[in-house]
Amino acid sequence: MLKKSMLALMFAAAASAQAEVRTFDIVYKGLYSVDDHVFQPDKTLEVKLTVKDLDGNGSYTENEVKALKASHIDYTGTCTVVHCLEYFNWTPGSLPNYSAVYHNYDGFYNELTIVNPGVEYREFVQSNWGFRYDLTWHWTADTQTTITPTSPVPEPSGYAMLLAGLAAIGAAAWRRGGQHST
C-alpha cells in the first residue's frame, strides 16, 4: 500500500511540474552614436530578461517572456499603454531578437525609449516648452553582447518533486531497515 501511495505522489508531483522560470542579464557594449557620428566602445545597454519555456522546446517566444527591463522599459508580461514588447524570439546560443518600447506622455513631457537589438536603441524626450532630448545608437559588427544566466528561484512544483523524492527514499530505507530486523 505504501509503495502505491508513494508512486501516486511521485506521479502527481511530476505532473504538476512546470517549466522553470529563468532570468538572464544581457549587456550590449559598444554602440554607434548616430548623433555624434562615432562608435562609442564603452556605451552599454543593460537588459534583464525573465522567461519561462511553456512549450518545452528550448526556445522562447513573446508569450513566454515574463519580464524585460531595459532603460525606461519595464515590461511585465503584458503590453500596457506605457510598456510593450512588440515581438520576441530567442533560442539560447543565439542573440535575442525583439523590439521593446516605452512611451509616456504626462501632459508636459513626451518620452519614448525603443530597444531593438541589432538595429537601434533610442531615447527621446520632448517637453511642451521646446526642450528636446533625442539620442540614438545603432548596433555595429563591433557591438559585443554578453548573456549571463542568473540563479533561478525554484517553483513550488520543484519543491513538491524534491519532497516526493525524499519521501520515497525515506520510505525505501525504512522498509529495508524493517526487513533486516526480522
Per-residue model confidence (pLDDT) at position 47: 97
Question: Any residues with CB less than 8 A from the CB of 57 and at least 6 apart, and which?
Answer: none
What is the helix (H) or strand (E) element at residue 180, kind and residue range? helix 156-180
- Secondary structure class of 68 (helix, strand, coil): strand
- Give the separation between CA 85 and CA 66, rounded to whole angstroms: 11
Encoded amino acid at 125, one letter: V
Provide the residue ranges of all domains of the chain, joining segments of one domain with +. Answer: 20-151
What phi, psi does 12 have (nearest 5°)? -65, -40
Query: What is the grid cell recorded at 9?
Result: 505522489
Residue labelled with grid coordinates 533625442: 134
- Give the separation between CA 160 and CA 158, rounded to whole angstroms: 5
Give the pTM: 0.72
* pLDDT tens across the length of the chain (182 residues): 555 555 555 544 444 445 689 999 999 999 999 999 999 999 999 999 999 999 999 999 999 999 999 999 999 999 998 999 999 999 999 999 999 999 999 889 899 999 999 999 999 999 888 888 899 999 999 999 999 999 655 556 666 666 777 777 777 677 777 665 55
Per-residue model confidence (pLDDT) at position 178: 63
- Give the separation between CA 117 and CA 135, rounded to whole angstroms: 16
Q: Strand 132-138 relative to strand 144-150: parallel, antiparallel, unpaired?
A: unpaired
